[in-house]
Structure 1
Amino acid sequence: MKTGSNDILDISHVVVTDRPLVVCDVDDVVLHFTDPFREFLLSQNHEFLPRSFDLIGNIVASDTRLEVDTAGVYRLIGAFFEAQESWQLPIEEVVQTLEALSVDADVVFLTAMPPLYSQQRRRLLDRLGLTFPLIASVEPKGPIMRQLNGERILPTTFIDDMAHNLHSVRQHMPDSLLIHMMPDSPLHLMAPKPQDDIVRARDWRHAEELIRAHWRPL
């Protein structure tokens, strides 16, 4: 999710080895986002109305019912990311599944948020036992995935809830396994759909099955 901030990409802290690579989005893939954000808005005397797939134009003041302008929406998103440690919880079975996958693969988080809030996210993930490397960026994910993988010729997997991120990785890493994972929220039900051959995982256990099947030729 973009918030209008300039992003400076730095992945020097991430080291990948000679194992398969699993790259995961964070919001609504690893951590619940949509429901906590709606609860956060209520605490700020605002509401989200799921009228279309966009936060801008769909957040209103609780008392006046007037739409919040673009700058106001970005401020609310930033305030939520600032306070995320008090609001966001892990998706069911994600901790156990990623721990199991990390025995055989390198796991990296690629979160679509400004690096300004990466320390808060790092602390939250660490507290939950999700200590895998984190990249925070609002840039397209395909080039980042390509840069991260380098010249390695090993199985790669990318998991995201947004079609445009999956399509970006396909463009730059066509041999990657692409997994669509999203909650059944009113917002996501209005989201653009990924291309038909991109598989949707029902949950993290299903995602693990898909990933390990992708590794089998090894």
Structure 2
Amino acid sequence: MPEPTPVLPEVLAQIRTLPPSDRPLVICDVDEVILHLIAHLEDYLHQRDLKFLKHEYRFTGNIARREDDVPLQADEVRQHLIWFFDEVSHEQDMVPGASAALNDLAQGWDIVLLTNLPGGHNKPRRERLLAGMGIPYPVLTNSGPKGGAVAVLAANRPGPVVFIDDSPTNHKSVNASLPSAAQIQFIADPRFRAAVEPEAHIDLLTGDWQETAVFIDNLLRSRA
């Protein structure tokens, strides 16, 4: 089992700007959960004669040149992801139902968006995009596993905490750092979702916001 992850100083500084609250908390990822990622990334790759080798949750070793199927080196993959977010992070499409579900949940829950976003300069553009979609919740930018940030966000809150993310790595990190959190693995792309075998700590695997909202509502009712 992974060790608990410490919160990064730059993320802790963002968390400290949030007002104190004792309400239940939903900590929600953005890419492939609120905003489509895979579809946009495939378009980006195809425009550069690149492709996914498999529809599975890894980038390094899974992005290759179309003509010879040779995977890109890790540093090339990282650079392409930086370029992708620089070019696309201000115009990603919303996953259907995300805004309505989050706004309904906000009646009973605090909502914080915790996103791994290369390049801090892209944060304001992402905040404007989400706000324009009717998703005005605080956006915290992280790097790497999210367990430490989730544990700090949940500290001193008596109510339940829900973590929504697509990444198996982030879910393992949260399970190590805050095992009491309810964990929803949300993957909008059906091909990538079908390739995932959910770990035991995953309470719901879904790509549907209505199902997600019902699950979270029931969770709060069961603990009332």
- State the TM-score bracket (shorter-chain normalisation): 0.7 to 0.9
The aligned amino acid for 1:44 is R
Over 3 Å counting, the alpha-carbon distance change for 1:15 and 1:140 in structure 2 is: farther
Q: TM-score, normalised to structure 2's length?
A: 0.83
**Counterpart of 1:97?**
101
Identical-pair percentage: 26
The alignment's C-alpha RMSD in Å is: 2.4
Q: CA deviation at 1:16?
A: 4.5
Aligned: 1:80 with 2:84: yes
Q: TM-score, normalised to structure 1's length?
A: 0.85
Aligned mates of 2:212, 2:148 — CA distance in 1: 23
Contact 1:7/1:138 (CA < 8 Å) preserved in 2?
Answer: no
**Counterpart of 1:198?**
203
Unpaired segments of 5 or more residues in structure 2? 1-7
1:164 to 164, 169, 193: 169
User: Residue by residue, what CA displacement relative to the aligned partner does 1:1-57 show, whole Å, maximum 9, x if unpaired?
Assistant: xxxxx9832323333422110111111111110111000122234323227542222
Aligned: 1:134 with 2:139: yes
Aligned mates of 1:169, 1:57 — CA distance in 2: 25
Contact 2:27/2:112 (CA < 8 Å) preserved in 1?
Answer: yes
Unpaired segments of 5 or more residues in structure 1? 1-5
Q: CA deviation at 1:212?
A: 1.0
Q: CA deviation at 1:66?
A: 4.4
Aligned: 1:125 with 2:150: no
Aligned mates of 2:174, 2:157 — CA distance in 1: 16
Over 3 Å counting, the alpha-carbon distance change for 1:189 and 1:129 in structure 2 is: same
1:40 to 44, 50, 55: 44
The aligned amino acid for 1:67 is P
Q: CA deviation at 1:202?
A: 4.9
Aligned mates of 2:192, 2:57 — CA distance in 1: 6
**Counterpart of 2:71?**
67
